[in-house]
Amino acid sequence: MLLLNLLKKLLLENKMDEPKDIFKKHQAQTFPFPSCIEIESANGSYITDVNGKEYLDFVAGVSACTLGHSNSIIIDAVKEQLDKYTHVMVYGEYIQSPQYKLAQLLADNLPENLSTTYFVNSGAEAIEGAMKLAKRATGYSEIISCKDSYHGSTQGALSIMGNEEHKAKYRPLLPNCNQIIYNDVESLVNITKQTAAVVIEPVQGGTGFVTPKNNFLQKVRKKCNETQTLLIFDEIQTCFGRLGTLFGFEKYNVTPDILCIAKGMGGGMPIGAFISSWELMSLLKFEPKLGHITTFGGHPVNCSASLATLEYLLSANTMKEVEQKAELFRKHLKNPKIKEIRGEGLMLSLELENEELAQKIVDESLEKGLILFYFLFTKTSIRITPPLTITKEEIIIGCNIIKEILEA
């Protein structure tokens, strides 16, 4: 009996922490105040927590779950590949059908100068590879990006981030990283014949989905042609139908020299890629050999998910419906407290009167079962990037929750 009581005491004293405590204690955090929803399942446009509460998802894992959660097409493709093989060798050694089929289908739907794909694990990795390729191809080291741009948090991607507050504590970073201003044609004078590449988002994400004005992207393309500078499009958020076209550059009729994609291309699985011509990509093969290498890049399971996503988008009407759904958001979110709805396609930003209102809407929406999210560089805007498969009825349900909060 004495031993039993002692064991009970020990168990009480060493009571297992709650999942929230474990999450905060043992899993590295990125933000002091995470929402801490404990997920049980997710399906379609909804996420369900462990208490059975459903949340309508207007964020899609930050533009990542293109076809919604637990899409059967993607799950079936993943399961089929898992039954065959997972990782078998470092990237580029063995012929693996998920990789080459995805690369072929991408090439079939891209311009001729974007025919060769290097698969990586994320958007930041795609940016890193593209920066290296640009330096290798031109012999120059200067990389120009835009003020308030975001391209990832790894060393190279952070170096070209356009916000000093997020960079200062990690300096020194890469040298020769300079900036232009998005939509400011006069700043293009900073692009010279010593510039290896300009890295730009077709729609600038971190500032609340700012779209190009007055043919700005065409003018950047023209300047790059004049200076023989490579143009890199960061389409990590805009790829795979987000704007209503398969790739964002199609929307604006500007073709880059190197294309970086990720997020939505995996349909919820981790994958990224940088794409260019066969001639440029061949530079990574010699002097030195293995100029860019990765162990898990192009993982066959993730490539299977991406291939299934791409095949679906090319065969269904999903992309054709994007603009209609975007207009539905704009129609049902008319309110004097919303100063502006920016963005393109299903990549929308609500500009509010002030930071307090933006936070109130995000917090209270979550309580009412609607997931919204913030932006990196603006505190008065709210992100709306739902799955492309969201229904019109679900859009109206979510918009009504936002309006209810605004009108309270």
Q: Where in the chain is the domain with CATH 3.90.1150.10?
A: 29-58+318-407
Q: Name the residue type at position 314.
A: L
What average pLDDT score do residues 13-25 get?
76
Query: What whole-number percentage of the chain has pLDDT above 70?
Result: 96
C-alpha span between 234 and 231 (Å, rounded): 10
Q: Which helix (H) or strand (E) holds 274?
A: strand 272-276
CA pair distance 88, 207, nearest whole angstrom: 41
Give me the mean pLDDT over the 106-115 stretch: 98
Distances (CA, A) of 96 to 115, 209, 267, 300: 18, 37, 20, 7
Strands 338-344 and 347-352: what pairing?
Answer: antiparallel
CA–CA gap between residue 386 and residue 372 (Å, rounded): 9
Provide the pLDDT for residue 401. 98
249 Cβ contact list (under 8 Å, min separation 6): 202, 217, 233, 235, 255, 256, 259
Q: Which of 200, 183, 195, 178 has its CA nearest to residue 259? A: 200
User: What are the angstrom distances between the C-alpha of 193 and each of 62, 197, 256?
Assistant: 36, 10, 17
What is residue 347's three-state secondary structure?
strand
CA–CA–CA angle 263, 317, 397 (5° rounding): 75
Name the residue among 213, 136, 156 with its Cα closest to residue 181.
Answer: 213
The Cα 217–Cα 173 span in angstroms is: 27
- Give domain 29-58+318-407's CATH architecture: Alpha-Beta Complex (3.90)
**Residue 6 — pLDDT band, cuts 50, 70, 90?**
low
| Residue 183, φ and ψ in degrees, nearest 5 | 70, 10
- Please identify which residue in the block is written with the tokens 């791409």: 310
DSSP 128-180: HHHHHHHHHHHS--EEEEETT----SSHHHHHT-S-GGGTGGG-S--SSEEEE
Confirm if 37 and 49 have CB atoms less than 8 A apart. Answer: yes
Average pLDDT of the segment spanning 129-157: 98
Instruction: Lay out the sheet containing 46-49: strands in order across.
Output: 39-43, 46-49, 54-57, 370-371
**Which helix or strand (DSSP H or E) is residue 403 part of?**
helix 392-407
Q: The domain 73-312 is classified under which CATH number: 3.40.50.11540, 3.40.50.300, 3.40.50.1970, 3.40.640.10?
A: 3.40.640.10
Strands 272-276 and 116-120: antiparallel
Residues of the chain with CATH 3.40.640.10: 73-312
Query: At which residue do the structure tokens 């039954």 appear?
Result: 83
| Average pLDDT of span 21-30 | 88
Residue 33 has pLDDT above 90, yes or no: no
Q: Does 8 score more than 90 pLDDT?
A: no
Place of tokens 């105040």: 33
218-265 tens-digit pLDDT? 999 999 999 999 999 999 999 999 999 999 999 999 999 999 999 999
How far from each other are the two terminal CA atoms of the chain, in whole angstroms?
A: 60
Residue with tokens 């699985």: 269
Cα separation, 268 vs 279, whole angstroms: 31
Cα–Cα dist 277/114, whole Å: 5
Instruction: Assign 25 a pLDDT band (cuts: 50, 70, 90).
Output: confident
Per-residue pLDDT at 11 = 46
User: Which residue matches tokens 């289908």?
Assistant: 105
**Predicted TM-score of the model (pTM):** 0.94
